[in-house]
Amino acid sequence: MTAPDDAIATSGLSKRFGSRTVVDAIDLRVPRGAVFGFLGPNGSGKTTSIRMLLGLVAASDGDIRLFGEPMPDGGARVLPRVGALVEGPAFAPYLSGTANLLRRDSADLYAPAATRRRRVASALERVGLSHAADRRVKAYSLGMKQRLGIAGALLTEKELLVLDEPTNGLDPQGTREVRSLIRSLADGGTTVFVSSHLLAEIEQICSHAAIMRSGRLVAQGSLDELRSTGAPRVRVVTPDVDLAIAVLARLGVVADGGSDAAAGESLGAPGAEHDVVLEGTLPHPAPAAEDVVGILVAEGVRVRGFAVHGSSLEERFVALTGEGFDVDR
């Protein structure tokens, strides 16, 4: 059921609570070395799936393998190779960041005590908290607590890092720091599994992704594969807005909704004839780009710019789930 290059592989993985199915027979594949985004709207089953992967909750049906080891039976062998931050970090508020991490590290039977303080200091430095290492955690901001949670997952070298909403509560600078950290971990060979509702973040840091809807896995693959399976998009720059809209409609182009899309994006000085950007979705099968341009020109549309491109991850997500991009786990 698993390939040698799979960090995570599931087959028919399901979870039921009474008569309610929360995760429905998902077959998930996470390649080794990937930065893998796990996406889905509120209630889609993402966090429950993660908890099953880590052995925190028992599956109702199906199989799980981490690096080829069956879970939860192989947990003692494989979990020391896995770091995780699930559903937000929890710390003793009256202890410092350093003291909290020392306590956490001391509970790890596989962590050598002789190098404990050095590992804690290194983990705090990696997440940018060296300056607050001796400060009580109750004085930390939400973003600082989030970074401390990531530091806890990095106390020892890990082959797989599972992060549930790792940028939650971070300001833009903190988000950039976490993004850079994830990239550096991936560059070092660590597989990073990221659950997030921020599609822009996923597009910037991930090589692969999976999309959940109502407990089912509706798409997975590399980001390029996910984008390419969506309907292609067309972008026309022209001053002949009404005529262009009419011609595109006859070609089956589905125009973007909303007042901004209907009017297009104006380019040029106010009061002067100016170009407008029109965007829409091509039909399937899509006409060749040169044919669309030829028909527009033949109908008298002055085409100042034209492009056909694949769907963005956000557009693909909306098409598969019917949800906007600002979704929770």
Phi, psi of 121 (to 5 degrees): -60, -40
Task: State the chain's mean pLDDT as an integer.
Answer: 83
- Supply the pLDDT for residue 262: 34
Lowest mean pLDDT, pick from 176-190, 206-220, 244-258, 291-305: 244-258
- Supply the pLDDT for residue 117: 94
Maximum alpha-carbon separation in the chain: 78
- Does the pLDDT at position 98 exceed 90? yes
- Does the pLDDT at position 269 exceed 60? no
Q: Which of 282, 290, 275 is nearest to 234 (CA)?
A: 282
Residue with tokens 């192989």: 74
Mean pLDDT comparison of 23-37, 217-231, 310-324, highest-scoring range: 23-37
Query: Residue 246 CB: number of other CB atoms within 10 A?
Result: 12
User: Which tops the pLDDT comparison, 54 or 321?
Assistant: 54
User: Which tops the pLDDT comparison, 71 or 272?
Assistant: 71
Spell out the domain ranges in the chain. Answer: 6-228, 233-309
Architecture of domain 233-309: 2-Layer Sandwich (3.30)
Architecture of domain 6-228: 3-Layer(aba) Sandwich (3.40)
Q: Which residues is 83 bridged to in the sheet?
A: 161
The overall pTM is greater than 0.75 = no
Q: Which of 142, 145, 147 is nearest to 91 (CA)?
A: 145
- Does the pLDDT at position 329 exceed 50? no
Residue with tokens 């590399």: 222
Q: Which of 272, 274, 268 is nearest to 240 (CA)?
A: 274
Q: How many residues belong to the chain?
A: 329
Q: Report, as an integer, the average pLDDT of 250-277.
A: 57
User: Which tops the pLDDT comparison, 289 or 218?
Assistant: 218
How far is the C-alpha of 240 from the C-alpha of 274, rounded, in Å? 9
